[in-house]
């Protein structure tokens, strides 16, 4: 499971920046450059929702094997697209859909295979496997594209997914994976999940803003500031995820959700208010640690409050909130930057993070009061 997860998120990370660059080099307009990201994200969200329904009829393990294989095959398809922008965008949408299947199935199976008292640790390790490729993959893809050309980047990015999908398919055919409770869709579980969906969406709005405007926010600190921002942030996020998993098992998920939201809000405040390398490193570390912790803890919190049979709905809700929040954040903060400038972005970031903290605290109080009354 972890090997497949690393392959999936390596593929994702390598092409987050490579594809927009390639579309631009192929003569694409700014709108088409943006579509290289939006097509992927939109397809991801749609397939995350569809996977919940499909999983009631098809094994999650088989869905994962198929999704990883499709993601790898679509990446190889870029080799034949050349400079055809419509073909590049269609293949990107296919990759996005396959990624939507993969992120729901990997998170679901990780939780399903773990003992309930070790669920936080398992999801923490899963989060580490997700975060490591994200830390270095974007830079790696751009370096390969610049030094060796896009075709080699396509091949090197595709092969881990192709091999992982094929190998995982053979493994589950020869040795069936542990049985898990068959997932089912239950609208009645949604009221228990929606508060955490809102928290995740608000938090990842700030992540969408950081991806879009992080370099501009730290441009005052010199040309090396942006790469340093994302490296420090990525390392902090990767390290914090397994730690947060352990804390969820020991103390419960909701305290970790609230603490992580507050740490992330502090990171947003520091990045906007404290210039210089000290502020950049401090802010990036706090932000990365907060995002890593809350990414894990919100998922554990969702799983803790619903029945095992509807955990696929939790996985899809969590994934959709994460990806949808990133997309919404990019759009909202872009409008703010257009109307009020980058200074307004730095002011709004901690406000949104603080609202997420308030929502997390209110939900924790609500859940606690309900449990006390029963």
Residue 87 belongs to what domain range? 1-180
Q: Could you tell me which of 297, 285, 374 has the C-alpha nearest to residue 127?
A: 297
> Is residue 204 located within the same domain as residue 275?
yes
User: Which residue's structure tokens are 């580490």?
Assistant: 128
Q: Measure the CA dihedral 156/158/161/163, to 10°.
A: -70
- Asked whether the beta carbons of 16 and 141 are under 8 A apart, the reply is yes
How confident is the model at residue 340, as a pLDDT? 84
> Is residue 114 located within the same domain as residue 252?
no
> Is residue 170 located within the same domain as residue 150?
yes
Q: CA distances (Å), 235 to each of 143, 211, 260, 279, in order? A: 19, 16, 16, 17
Count of Cβ atoms closer than 10 Å to residue 34 Cβ: 15
Name the 3-class secondary structure at 47. helix
* Both tokens assigned to 159: 């092969």
pLDDT in tens, the chain (374 residues): 888 999 999 999 888 777 877 887 888 776 676 677 778 888 888 888 788 777 777 788 889 999 999 999 999 999 998 888 899 989 999 999 999 999 888 988 888 888 878 888 998 899 889 888 877 777 788 788 878 888 898 999 899 999 999 999 898 888 877 766 655 656 666 777 888 999 999 999 998 888 777 777 887 777 778 778 888 888 999 999 999 999 999 988 999 999 999 999 999 999 888 878 888 999 999 999 999 999 989 989 988 887 766 777 787 788 888 888 887 887 788 788 878 888 888 899 999 999 999 999 999 888 765 544 44
> Is residue 329 located within the same domain as residue 213?
yes
Q: CA distances (Å), 346 to each of 35, 155, 343, 351, in order? A: 26, 39, 5, 9
How confident is the model at residue 283, as a pLDDT? 93
* Both tokens assigned to 269: 């405040």
How far from the centroid of its chain's Cα atoms is residue 191's Cα? 23
> Is residue 247 located within the same domain as residue 325?
yes
How confident is the model at residue 371, as a pLDDT? 46
CATH of the domain at 14: 1.20.1250.20
d(CA 136, CA 80) in angstroms, rounded, equals 27
How confident is the model at residue 374, as a pLDDT? 41
Number of domains the chain is built from: 2
> Is residue 233 located within the same domain as residue 351?
yes
Name the domain boundary from 124, 159, 180: 180
> Is residue 112 located within the same domain as residue 205?
no
* pTM of this structure: 0.77
Count of Cβ atoms closer than 10 Å to residue 27 Cβ: 9
Can you spell out the DSSP letters for 269-337? HHHHH--SHHHHHHHHHHHHHHHHHHHHHHHHHHHHTS-GGGHHHHHHHHHHHHHHHHHHHHHHHHHHH
> Is residue 188 located within the same domain as residue 170?
no
> Is residue 172 located within the same domain as residue 209?
no
> Is residue 244 located within the same domain as residue 155?
no
> Is residue 269 located within the same domain as residue 297?
yes
> Is residue 54 located within the same domain as residue 201?
no
Name the domain boundary from 180, 196, 226: 180
Name the domain boundary from 129, 161, 180: 180
């Amino acid at each position: 499971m972890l090997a497949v997860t690393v392959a999936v998120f390596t593929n994702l990370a390598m092409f987050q920046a490579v594809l927009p660059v390639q579309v631009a080099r192929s003569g694409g307009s700014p709108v088409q450059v943006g579509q290289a990201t939006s097509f992927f994200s939109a397809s991801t969200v749609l397939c995350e929702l569809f996977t919940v329904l499909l999983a009631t009829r098809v094994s999650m393990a088989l869905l994962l094997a198929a999704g990883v294989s499709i993601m790898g095959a679509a990446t190889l398809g870029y080799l034949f697209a050349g400079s055809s922008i419509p073909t590049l965008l269609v293949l990107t949408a296919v990759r996005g859909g396959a990624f939507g299947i993969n992120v729901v199935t990997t998170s679901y199976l990780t939780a399903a295979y773990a003992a309930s008292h070790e669920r936080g640790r398992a999801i923490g390790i899963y989060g580490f496997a997700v975060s490591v490729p994200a830390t270095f993959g974007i830079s790696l893809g751009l370096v390969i594209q610049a030094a060796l050309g896009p075709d080699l980047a396509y091949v090197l990015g595709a092969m881990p997914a192709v091999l992982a999908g094929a190998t995982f398919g053979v493994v589950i055919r020869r040795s069936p994976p542990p049985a898990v409770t068959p997932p089912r869709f239950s609208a009645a579980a949604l009221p228990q999940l929606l508060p955490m969906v809102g928290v995740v969406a608000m938090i990842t709005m700030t992540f969408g803003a950081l991806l879009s405007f992080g370099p501009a926010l730290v441009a005052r600190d010199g040309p090396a500031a942006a790469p340093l921002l994302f490296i420090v942030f990525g390392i902090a996020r990767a390290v914090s995820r397994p730690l947060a998993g352990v804390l969820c098992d020991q103390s419960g998920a909701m305290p970790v959700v609230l603490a992580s939201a507050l740490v992330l809000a502090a990171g947003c405040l520091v990045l906007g208010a404290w210039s210089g390398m000290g502020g950049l490193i401090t802010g990036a570390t706090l932000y990365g640690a907060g995002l890593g912790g809350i990414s894990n803890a919100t998922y554990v919190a969702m799983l803790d409050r619903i029945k095992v049979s509807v955990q696929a709905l939790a996985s899809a809700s969590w994934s959709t909130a994460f990806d949808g929040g990133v997309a919404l954040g990019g759009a909202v903060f872009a409008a703010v930057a257009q109307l009020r400038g980058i200074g307004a972005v730095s002011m709004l970031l901690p406000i949104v993070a603080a609202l997420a903290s308030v929502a997390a605290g209110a939900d924790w109080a609500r859940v606690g009061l309900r449990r006390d009354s029963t």
